[in-house]
Structure 1
Amino acid sequence: MKTFNILILSSGRRVELVKLFKEAINELGLKGKIICADASSYAPSLFFSDEKEVIPRIESPTFIETIINISLKHDISLIIPTIDTELLPLSTNKKFIEKSTGAKVLISNENLIKICRDKNKTQDFLEENGFKMPKRFKTEEEIRENDFPLFIKPISGSSSINAFKVTDFNQLKSYLDIIKTPIIQQNIVGDEYTVDVFCDFNSRIVSVVPRLRIETRGGEISKGKIVRDNKIIDEVSKLVKIMKPIGHITIQLFKTKSDIYFIEINPRFGGGAPMSIMSGANSCKNLLRILNGDQLDYNNDFIENQIYLRFDSSIVINDEN
């Protein structure tokens, strides 16, 4: 029986994801280990993995070399990124890593990553392809008093860091002092959704699961509801067929009474992805099945109207220093 060892990079606090991959290996009757790697030796996920590795930070010149060495050491089948800042270096070096290790890298093409990592490029791409986004103000001079409230955030930001609702010109000036490369947009009022999409390595859609963001903390969903909204599913599917991503991606949007406004695209596992996985759209199992040679069809058999509540938990470790 072939062994499928999976390397999760920058695994941090993603204990849920580690557990779900372990469960998937067991439930499918496969052999394999979950290896977690993080720049911090105290990342909680390291203590739930089968093997752990401490790696240099992404900006280190040895980052890619270290990933290759770890992959060879543990006979890795699949490398999974989890944070925005590692996406571009991994997509740029994807072919080199795969040729050097024999492992697959769960990453979309470099051009798509560049579009997703720059919110101005995301807006251009979506609008050029006929999708709605909040109105963008390219300069402060374009803004009028009746345009408020607005929303400002860094063009390459993540986790809602330095993302603010702006109610007047005084606030705008203050935030422009903080955010040096901002995108300024209309503030949309509506229901906010994160949509989990899973595509195979040929960018064929396997599942699309909308989840209503009931409550967030630090930009990540803490309470969410799985919703079978066919209008959202259809619009997201239309976008994904144009984008052609690979693996599990998350798309954020607002739904108003009349329209769907896309906010951003994160071409990786989002922090709330376990909600959709546990609802039946099991990206962990799907990835293992693909690695095992299965051909997957589109499947929308997820369980709707489930509410997921995420919470913190503590573990204790012995300090060996």
Structure 2
Amino acid sequence: MTRSALSILICSAGRRVGLIEAFRVAADRLSLDLTILACDLEPDLSAACAVADRAFKVPRCNDPAYVAAIKDIVRDFNVALVVPTIDPELQPLAQAVDEFTALGARVHVSDLSVIQIARDKARTSNVFAGAGVPVPRTLDETQLRADPTALTWPVFAKPSGGSASRGLAVYHSMPDVPDAFNEPMIFQDTLEGPEYTINMFVDQSGVLKCVVPHIRLSIRAGEVEKGRTERREDLKKIAQGIASALPGLRGVACFQVIDDPTHGPRVIEINARFGGGYPLADNAGATFAQWLLEEVCDLPSSANDDWRDGVLMLRYDRAVYQG
């Protein structure tokens, strides 16, 4: 049954004003009466919460009460689509998908098995390598200490369960590596070359419909500040390999590649959610937000791969004022 009005909930909304704007523009194109709700740990200090139609305070996403708080909002406001935006909330929401379905809401999240792989960088590397997806050589801490010559120094280190550029480091020799870490780490060959984010959309039947690479010309706080779309068949082929390696992937995802001049493109990260650079893909014609609304509303899908090459994004600071 098609819908003409619906509510969606943007979780951990933070600064995701661009994402909210993309959903509003999509709703206008579809002639939908859309209500956008947003929630955050501190909604009074969230720009996205300020521009949403209503905002809610919820516990931190690793709090056992988090999912219950999201379910309360869904139940009270008849939410049809829940959109998580940060990695740590993906697993608790994926574990509760059936509970949300019983409330009539779709959670924009892939299968739990996909989230468990994507949230563990060591598993991601192993799964991708086994599927023929190009990744840098990757060792865990035990493997590195057992054979420091297995990688080419300097080595790149990052938490296996990290996100948002937390805990990244480069070590030039084995004596530089700390004696212990506070969390599991992985170590990889250090890559050089331009870095790309590839946004991809997999429809609800599991078909990869769109692949949009953009070069990351400038990065601030781990998020692309300046970028330009580039149509590259080699990066599209990698996206196809990822979709095959993760058959439970659904909706929007993005992965990062370093195009090393010696080794070629290598996948270094995947996020099974909307990435911070999604507004660039949306502006280029890859309107993932619209395609999700079409699925939720049982409307004919307009998903396609006919986006514009060479679209340049130059982000700047903008303020939201209240009071």
TM-score (norm 2): 0.92
- How far, CA to CA, are the matches of 2:34 and 2:151 in structure 1? 58
Q: 1:68 aligns with which of 52, 59, 71?
A: 71
* Mapping for residues 138-217 of structure 1, pairs under 5 Å: 138-144=143-149, 147-173=152-178, 177=180, 179-217=182-220
Asked if residue 25 in structure 1 is aligned to residue 27 in structure 2, the reply is yes
- Inter-CA distance 178–27: structure 2 relative to 1 (3 Å threshold): same
- Deviation, structure 1 residue 179: 4.9
Contact 1:134 / 1:186 at 8 angstroms: preserved in 2? yes
* Mapping for residues 253-264 of structure 1, pairs under 5 Å: 253-257=257-261, 259-264=264-269
- Inter-CA distance 230–145: structure 2 relative to 1 (3 Å threshold): closer
Contact 1:205 / 1:298 at 8 angstroms: preserved in 2? no
- Deviation, structure 1 residue 78: 0.4
SS of 1:160 mapped into structure 2: coil
TM-score (norm 1): 0.93
- Deviation, structure 1 residue 298: 5.5
- Deviation, structure 1 residue 178: 5.2
Q: Which residue of 1 aligns with 2:90?
A: 87
What code does the residue aligned with 1:15 have? V
- Inter-CA distance 128–180: structure 2 relative to 1 (3 Å threshold): same
What code does the residue aligned with 2:177 have? L
SS of 2:34 mapped into structure 1: coil
- How far, CA to CA, are the matches of 2:92 and 2:136 in structure 1? 29
- Deviation, structure 1 residue 26: 1.4
- Runs of 4+ that moved beyond 6 A: none
Asked if residue 274 in structure 1 is aligned to residue 279 in structure 2, the reply is yes
* Mapping for residues 233-248 of structure 1, pairs under 5 Å: 233-244=236-247, 245-248=249-252
Contact 2:13 / 2:49 at 8 angstroms: preserved in 1? yes
Contact 1:87 / 1:113 at 8 angstroms: preserved in 2? yes
- Aligned Cα RMSD in Å? 1.8
- How far, CA to CA, are the matches of 1:145 and 1:86 in structure 2? 35
Contact 2:131 / 2:241 at 8 angstroms: preserved in 1? no
Identity %: 28
- How far, CA to CA, are the matches of 2:173 and 2:319 in structure 1? 41
SS of 1:157 mapped into structure 2: coil
What code does the residue aligned with 2:224 have? I
Which runs of no fewer than 5 residues in structure 2 stay unpaired? none
Q: Deviations over 1:150-176 (max 9, x none)?
A: 100000001111112222334323xx6
- How far, CA to CA, are the matches of 1:264 and 1:179 in structure 2? 21
Contact 1:5 / 1:32 at 8 angstroms: preserved in 2? yes
- How far, CA to CA, are the matches of 1:179 and 1:307 in structure 2? 40
